[in-house]
Amino acid sequence: MKKEISFIQSIAVVLVLLAIIFVSLFTLKLPPHIPLIFGVAFISVIGFLLKYKWTEMEKGILDGVRLGIKPILILMLIGMLIAIWMVGGTIPTILSYGFHWISPQYFLISALVITVLVSTFTGSSLTTVSTVGVALFGVGTAIGVHPGLAAGMIVSGAVFGDKMSPLSDTTNFASGIVEVPLPKHIQHITWTTVPSIVITAIIALVIGMNGNHESVNYGEIQGIQDALKHTFNLHVLTLLSPLLVLIFSMKRVDVLPTLVLGIVTAIITGMITQHEFTLSQLLGVLQSGPAVESGNKVVDAIVNKGGLQSMMFSISLIMIALSLGGLMRAVGIIDALLEGLAKQIRRSGDVIFATLLSSIGVNVITGEQYLSILLPGQTFKPLYEKWNLDPKNLSRTLEDGGTVINAIIPWGVSGAFISTALNIPAADYIPFTFFSILCPIFSVILAYTGIGIAKKKAQS
């Protein structure tokens, strides 16, 4: 007969698991895959001690991985898209325009505003990062902006749309789980979103205006522009592919056919404009990524990104993290944690704080954005009713702890993708992703001050 794990026992298990992960990452300097695999082994032992059969645990693992099938397909296509945009001239063309339009002191705020706009219109942080995000990061790198800061602002702007856009799948998912009308949900999340993005913008302006721009080597920038012109045909036609991707995303066409369209279009425009590359070379980069030799080290570092193979690090990481999350759910650890947290509530502010902690916790444990919204949403919904809190408080908190946090979890679906797409360790950009850090902070402040907390209207 199976044993039920208690709240205290589940906390102890999670603490041991986190110790394994953090010691492996920060002391032993191992890649995140290894501690997560050790974590799967550790939780399997716990499962056996709780009298679970291996077939039951295996089913949990497979159920967890199944949640990641579509994100994995998206990552594979985005890897191919980035590669063909590089050799097809799309990113080099955008880089060339960026050097003319964006000055170093305004780069951070420009990157934030551009990604906010694109993510709001597309509803996707992954699309935003893989399109304008990659190009902006290349510009920032070339003009000497701190890579972590550049990535942090790009990710902050990209996550904004994930949270606020009516086109975002997570925005619709959070409001749907809690049964709150979408306009009502979006209006309510402005309480935490607006101050977070405003403070992020102020930080971007202050850092940008006070940076040491005299150290910018404009001769080096000119060398980069010359190398781009000599290596690629910088043509406006190469912008057709990203334009179509953005338009189809705005029209809410599913992301998979949208990305395929972007790849095919980029191949065609690449054949027309990039005569120095053969069709075989253009198609070859889809698998292995570019190997451009421009004669300029900075250009080579920027454009030699992408390819299906480049995404395998992230894909394997996501599969292991989802396996761990599915296993922990199968043996009852996640349910015990959520139910235990729910029992600790003593006042209405605790309801929101416990929801936030649960969403962040599920994000950390499973790496899966949707589970971090679904599980706490289902668990805490009755408590909002009990404490006379409007359900829109719940949907907002799920976004504050679920949607915006996944991007700063190194083994999360979004975090792993961002790290690979921008070719930067997650630890380098996480401290500068101010929007994702501020949203939960404002959520807690509102919870205990009562500001922006809607009470449920009495029914006549």
Give the tens place of pLDDT for each residue, 241-254: 989 988 888 887 88
CA angle 167, 170, 172 (to 5 degrees): 60
Shortest CA distance to 249 belongs to which of 341, 149, 168?
Answer: 168
- Of 281, 309, 337, which one is at a domain's C-terminal end? 309
Task: Give the residues across from 389 on adjacent strands.
Answer: 455
Q: Which of 286, 309, 332 is the last residue of a domain?
A: 309
Specify the pLDDT at position 30: 86
User: 322 CB contacts (<8 Å, ≥6 apart)?
Assistant: 64, 65, 67, 68, 366, 367, 368
Q: Which residues, at least 6 apart from 95, have a Cβ–Cβ distance to it below 8 Å?
A: 135, 138, 139, 142, 224, 228, 302
- Residue 239 belongs to some domain of the structure: yes
Predicted confidence at residue 460, as pLDDT, reads 35
Longest pairwise C-alpha distance within the chain: 75
**Same domain, residue pair 64 and 106:** no
Q: What is the pLDDT of residue 213?
A: 58
Query: Closest Cα partner for 73 from 257, 206, 237?
Result: 257
320 and 357, same domain (yes or no)? yes
In a domain, 357, yes or no: yes
Whether residue 236 lies inside any domain: the answer is yes
Considering the domain architecture, whether residues 43 and 117 belong to the same structural domain is answered as no
Residue owning tokens 């003593």: 346
Question: 172, 179, 303, 173: which is closest to 231 by C-alpha?
Answer: 303
Give me the number of domains the chain comprises: 2
Statement to judge: residues 285 and 421 lie in one domain: no
Answer with the one of 291, 309, 327 that is the final residue of a domain. 309
> What is the C-alpha to C-alpha distance for residues 46 and 103, in angstroms, rounded to an integer?
55
Predicted local distance difference test score (pLDDT) of residue 367: 83
Position 457 in a domain? no
Within-domain flag for 454: no
Q: Is residue 53 part of a domain?
A: yes
Q: Which amino acid is present at 392?
A: K
Say if 460 falls within a structural domain.
no
142 and 282, same structural domain? yes
User: CB of 331 within 8 A of CB of 47?
Assistant: yes
Same domain (yes/no): 360, 387: yes
Per-residue pLDDT of the chain (460 residues; tens, 9 = 90+): 788 999 999 999 999 998 998 898 888 888 889 999 999 999 999 999 999 999 999 999 999 898 888 888 888 998 899 899 999 999 899 888 877 787 888 899 999 999 999 898 888 888 889 888 988 998 888 888 899 999 999 999 999 988 998 888 888 889 988 889 989 999 999 999 999 999 999 999 999 888 765 555 667 778 888 888 888 899 999 999 989 988 888 887 888 999 999 999 999 999 999 988 888 888 999 999 888 888 888 888 888 888 999 889 888 988 998 899 899 989 999 889 888 888 888 898 999 999 999 999 989 888 888 889 988 988 888 899 989 999 999 999 999 999 999 999 998 889 989 998 898 999 999 999 999 999 999 999 999 999 999 998 754 3
Judgement on whether residues 38 and 126 belong to the same structural domain of the protein: no
Task: State whether 73 and 56 are in the same domain.
Answer: no
Q: Is residue 2 assigned to a domain?
A: no
Looking at the structure, tell me whether residues 282 and 362 fall in a common domain: no
DSSP secondary structure code for residue 25 in this structure:
I
Residues 52 and 140 in one domain: no
Exposed (0-12), middle (13-18) or buried (19+): which is 278, by Cβ within 10 Å? exposed
**Domain region containing 102:** 69-309
> Which pLDDT value is given to residue 132?
86
Pairwise CA distance, residues 105 & 103, whole Å: 6
**Would you say 266 and 87 are in contact if contact means Cβ atoms under 8 Å apart?**
no
State the CB neighbour count (10 A cutoff) for residue 383. 19
Same structural domain, 159 and 279 = yes
190 shares a domain with 73: yes
